[in-house]
Amino acid sequence: MIKKYGILINLVFILVVLVIAILIDIPKGPNLRIGSFFREFKIHRGLDLQGGTSLLYIADLSKISEKERSQAIEGAIDIIRKRVDGLGVTEPVIQATSIGDKQGIIVELPGIQNVEEAIKLLGETAQLKFITENGQEVLTGKELRRASLAFSPAGGGQSLPEVNLEFNDEGREKFATATKENLGKRIIVILDNQIITAPVVQSVITDGRARITGNFTVEEARKLTLQLNSGALPVPLTLAEQRNIGATLGDKPLKESAIAGLLGILLVMLFMVIHYKLPGLLANIALVIYTAIVLALFKFIPVTLTLAGVAGFILSVGMAVDANILIFERMREELRKGKILTVAIEDGFRRAWSSIRDSNVSSIITCLILIWFGSGSVRGFAVTLLIGILVSMFSAIYVSRVFLRLAAKNNKVANLLRI
Amino acid sequence: MNFVKNRLYFYILSLLIIIPGIIALFLFGLRLGLDFTGGAMIELAWQGDLQTEEAVKEIQSIGKKEILVQSAGEKAVIVKIASKNQEEAKNLAEEIKKNLAKKATSIEEKNFALVGPTVSKNLQTKSIKAVILASLGIIFYIAFAFRKVEKPASPWRFGIAAIIALIHDLLVVLGIFAILGRFFAWAELDAMFITALLTVLGFSVHDTIVVFDRIRENLRLYPQKPFEEVVNSSLLQTLSRSINTSLVVIITLLALFILGGETIKGFILALLIGIISGTYSSIFNASLLIVSWQKFIEKRALKKSGDL
């Protein structure tokens, strides 16, 4: 690509990439909208950088067939999302995960400090079950399509609140069979291990509708409807882990690590200039471009930034510079052998390539394993390190090569390249 | 400089660091973090007359060995309760908070974590799997990348030497943390520590490959030179790169270690130790081991022919 189109086109290409990256980077920059696709560009902060609560639930899937398991988890996630919306959390994370051979759900609630309340609201409500007199389960909340509040006329011109249930197709069949088999007997409705009502089956119900009439007040009936609608968790969940990070920490860790990172990068740049003179300076410019691209990718993907993620990014700066160090050391050797500058530059890049490739592949293998291995901080670290390594292949090899070639063209500047 | 000739000394230096570490590992073991033991962690801060030392003593007086309490700055403590029983750990944490609240004003829960046995057990098995998987992935990759290496070296020898250097680095980090764990509460084995280990593993191999790559190239360029000479000149040629790169990484990590805040201190230190060890082992262990191996084989062949 470089030979074919000349240095100028490559410079323009680098500039375009840089401008796009900077546009994404600037704090109040534009967002992306292509048709119905919309993405807001912003840095998402992990819980350790903004405080909040993280909960890990394990799902009991023992009563659910293999095929329906992922669907059940999806359903539970939907319901948790509805409940979280009720908490008014901005940017919650709710996602499926696996813990060994078990399935689970991670819930991250930035800014939430009252953990007990959140736990109550999220996981422990509304497991709906219909059982027969001898304890056989005939229906669960899974087969519920919708619950609604209704009033039935009672004596004396009054009306009593009741909850109407509508089942899905599967539920309709099950309910028809159950009412047929239990005609004249009771079917017990249980919500969260409490008996709500136990009506006697009067007739076979085939339309998939049922009414729960208890001695409800209007308020109770309304609450039950709400719970059933937002609440019929298809699987029982148990809380396996909870973490709460105080909000008082606030911006402090982010600022601290940002300052540390900045200082680290500046020291590295200083080192490069002292050690490699002009090529070092060019590598530093490539490093600035590298930083701009990486930050833009963090916003674009988007990557949730944790403290460990910041460390991963800073470590990747080391790896990015490593590629340049390898190249320059090689260049230096070629120059000492008496090769002319342009040849030494080309040979430096060519000869260093196999080490850069092989060593980066081994780091990429480790990153991929870490992404598989961990969640939260661990994954944050691996993802930022991986992005860093990939971008460094672009900046340290391609960008700095274009710069060096450009410098080598000018006779006055070229002499400064002799390291 | 002749590294190859002096290789015995370099091996001895490695052993001088690794052996005390291994002894510490066997004697004390590693300080297990909450991620591995399961249980609860609570960080409390307060105002009023109660001093940190008093609070620490107060909590220690409960007299349960699963409770670990440490100072977290002025008028703040971190309490860790190692327990497989989630409810029990939670209740104990709440009790401690209530007791302290009686003696201090405006007590604040800055951090709370509760880890159940499923999660901690899963982390244990997954960590072991991850380390094994990463090592296997890397050994196969090196064998593949070096499949065309010239005689007398063999691709598997390179792979295995890289793995030995890698085990060296893991042992250095584990050993030093076993010693540190005796004295410092932050030197503990948690998910982040495993992450540091795996990163060190990647970096160690990254470094080793650069040296191996040079050996591979020089073997091709100078087929008539003796093997140990090729290895020695390859080491000299890559020396300044190895040191410069490590310096760069060490600079950035030091900045993070000093300024980056308390929570990632242990993690950064594990990375620092591992990367220094990784640089050392890639220069002074990995390549030299291939020479030792080669010598061993030659000697054996010589003996056999001598016997005839």
Backbone angles phi, psi at B80, to 5 degrees: -115, 135
- Element holding A117 (H helix, E strand): helix A115-122
CA distance B149 to B299: 22
Q: What confidence score (pLDDT) does residue A122 get?
A: 74
Shortest Cα distance, chain A CAs vs residue B61, angstroms:
26
Of residues A385 and A355, more confidently modeled = A385
Q: The domain spanning residue A74 has which CATH number?
A: 3.30.1360.200
Phi, psi of A327 (to 5 degrees): -65, -45
Helix (H, G, I), strand (E, B) or coil at A213: coil
DSSP A249: G
So what's the pLDDT on residue A35?
A: 67
User: Do residues A225 and A216 lie in contact, with contact meaning Cβ atoms separated by under 8 Å?
Assistant: no
Q: In this predicted complex, what is the ipTM?
A: 0.80
Residues of B in contact with A257 (CB under 8 A): 256, 259-261, 264
- Looking at the fold, whether A159 and A275 belong to one and the same domain comes out as no
**pLDDT given for residue A229 in this prediction:** 67
Could you tell me if A232 and A167 are in contact, meaning their C-beta atoms sit under 8 angstroms apart?
Answer: no
CA atoms within 13 A on the CB side of A220: 10
A344 or A155, which is more confident? Answer: A344
B112, A243: Cβ pair inside 8 Å?
yes
B251 touches chain A (CB under 8 A): yes
CB contact under 8 A, A366 and B213: no
**In the prediction, which pLDDT does A344 show?**
92
Please answer whether residues A312 and B202 qualify as being in contact, where contact means their C-beta atoms are separated by less than 8 angstroms. Answer: no
- Other CB atoms within a 10 A radius of the CB of residue B184 amount to 15
The shortest CB-CB distance from B244 to any of A275, A354, A362 is to A275
Give residue A220's domain range.
48-244
Encode pLDDT of B165-177 as tens digits: 988 999 999 999 9
Lowest mean pLDDT across A94-98, B73-77, B146-150, B274-278: B146-150
Interface test with B, best of A358, A363, A370, A384 (most B CBs within 10 A): A358
What number is the average pLDDT over the span A192-204? 77
Are A28 and A61 within one domain?
no
Contacts of A348 in chain B (CB under 8 A): none
Domain B39-115 coded CATH 1.10.10.10:
no
Q: Minimal Cα distance from A363: which residue of B? A: B202
Give the residue-averaged pLDDT of B42-70: 83
Query: Of A244, A270, A302, which residue sits at a domain end?
Result: A244
pLDDT in tens, B189-247: 888 888 888 888 888 888 888 888 889 889 889 988 988 899 999 999 899 888 888 88
Contact in structure between A167 and A173 (CB atoms under 8 Å): no
Q: How far is it, in rounded angstroms, from Cα A16 to Cα B38?
A: 51
**A78 shares its domain with A106:** yes
CA–CA gap between residue A323 and residue A359 (Å, rounded): 10
- Here the tokens at position A344 are 């030494």
Query: Do A379 and A406 share a domain, yes or no?
Result: yes
Instruction: Please give the Cα distance from A283 to A272 (Å, whole number).
Output: 8
**Number of neighbouring beta carbons within 10 Å of residue A125:** 17
Which residue among A319, A359, A366 sits closest to B201, beta carbon to beta carbon? A366
pLDDT over 70 (residue B308)? no
CATH code for the part of the protein at B7-32+119-307: 1.20.1640.10
pLDDT band at A1 (very low <50, low <70, confident <90, very high): very low
Q: Which residues contact B260 (CB under 8 A, 6 or more apart)?
A: A256, A257, A260, A307, A310, A311, B268
Buried b (16+ CB within 10 A) or exposed e, A331-350: bbbbbeeebebeebbbbbbe
A262, A355, A360, A384: best mutation site toward chain B, by most B Cβ within 10 Å?
Answer: A355
**B116: chain A residues, CB-CB within 8 Å:** 58, 239-241
What is the arithmetic mean of pLDDT over B110-132? 83
Residues of A within 8 A of B122 (CB-CB) are 99-100, 102
Answer yes or no: do A259 and A208 share one domain: no
Alpha carbon distance A331, A346 (integer Å): 8
Same domain, A99 and A138: yes
Domain boundary among A244, A263, A285: A244
Strand partners, A55: A107, A242
Which of B119, B206, B261 shows the shortest C-beta gap to A241?
B119
In chain A, the N- to C-terminal Cα span, in Å, equals: 27
CATH number of the domain to which A38 belongs: 1.20.1640.10
Structure tokens at B212: 């191996």
> Is there a contact between B251 and A271 if contact means CB atoms under 8 Å apart?
yes
Contact A387, A293 (CB under 8 A): no
CB interface of A with B, residues 378-397, below 8 Å: 378, 381-382, 385
The residue behind tokens 């991670």 is A106
Please say if the pLDDT value at position A281 is more than 90.
yes
What is the CB-side half-sphere exposure of residue B229 using CA atoms within 13 A? 6
Three-class DSSP category at A282: helix
Q: What is the pLDDT of residue B295?
A: 87
Whether the predicted pLDDT of A300 surpasses 70: yes
Residue B108 forms contact with A (CB below 8 Å): yes
A209 and A276 assigned to the same domain = no
> Which token pair is A396?
């340290």
Distance from CA of A367 to the nearest CA of B (A): 8
What residues of B are in contact with residue A259 (Cβ under 8 Å)?
259
Q: Which of B86, B251, B263 sits opposite A268 (nearest CB)?
A: B251
Q: What is the mean pLDDT of chain A?
A: 82
Residue A319: Cβ within 10 Å count: 24
Total structural domains in chain A?
2
- Reply yes or no on whether the pLDDT at A409 is more than 80: yes
pLDDT in tens, A75-125: 788 778 777 776 677 778 888 888 877 888 888 888 777 777 777 777 655
- Which of B112, B217, B261 lies at the smallest CB-CB distance from A257? B261
Compute the distance between CA of residue B169 and CA of residue B207 in angstroms, rounded to an integer.
12
Question: No. of H helices and E strands in chain B?
Answer: 10, 6
Residues A38 and A97 in one domain: no
Contacts of A354 in chain B (CB under 8 A): 213, 217
CA A114 to chain B, closest CA, distance in angstroms equals 11
A97 touches chain B (CB under 8 A): no
Contact A73, A59 (CB under 8 A): yes
Query: In which residue are the tokens 């007199």 written?
Result: A133
**Which pair of tokens denotes residue A69?**
């398991």
Of A105-109, A192-196, A205-209, A281-285, the one with minimum mean pLDDT is A192-196
Choose the closest CB to A260 out of B134, B203, B256. B256
Per CB-CB distance under 8 Å, the chain A contacts of B111 are: 244-246
Q: Which residues contact A20 (CB under 8 A, 6 or more apart)?
A: A296
For range A117-138, the mean pLDDT: 74
Same-domain status, A99 and A161: yes
When pLDDT is cut at 50, 70 and 90, the band that residue A192 belongs to is low
Chosen from B97, B118, B207 to mutate, greatest number of chain A CBs within 10 A: B118
CB atoms within 10 A of CB B230: 25
Residues A212-258 have pLDDT tens digits of 777 778 877 776 776 676 556 677 788 888 888 776 555 677 777 78
Within 8 A by CB and 6+ apart from B229, the residues are B4
Query: Closest partner residue to B260 among A246, A248, A260, by Cβ?
Result: A260
Give residue A138's pLDDT.
82
Q: Where are the domains of chain B?
A: 7-32+119-307, 39-115
Q: Which residue has the tokens 């890639």?
A: B282
Interchain proximity A326–B122, CB inside 8 Å: no
Asked if residue A17 and residue A147 are part of one domain, the reply reads no
Q: Hey, which bits of chain B come out as E strands?
A: 31-32, 39-47, 67-71, 76-82, 105-115, 188-189
Residue pairs between chains A and B whose CB atoms are closer than 8 Å = 213
Mean pLDDT comparison of A222-231, B5-14, B190-199, B299-308, highest-scoring range? B5-14
> Which range in A215-224, A233-242, A409-418, B93-102 is most confidently predicted, on average pLDDT?
B93-102
- Using CA atoms, how far apart are residues A208 and A185, in angstroms rounded to an integer? 18
Look at residues A211, A244, A277 and tell me which one is the last residue of a structural domain: A244
Tell me whether A271 touches chain B (CB under 8 Å).
Answer: yes
User: Which of the 8 DSSP states describes residue A24?
Assistant: H
Give the Cβ contact number of residue B60 at 10 Å: 13
For chain B, say whether A321 makes contact (Cβ under 8 Å): yes
Residues A91 and A223 occupy one common structural domain: yes
**Burial level of B125, CB count in 10 A (0-12/13-18/19+)?**
exposed
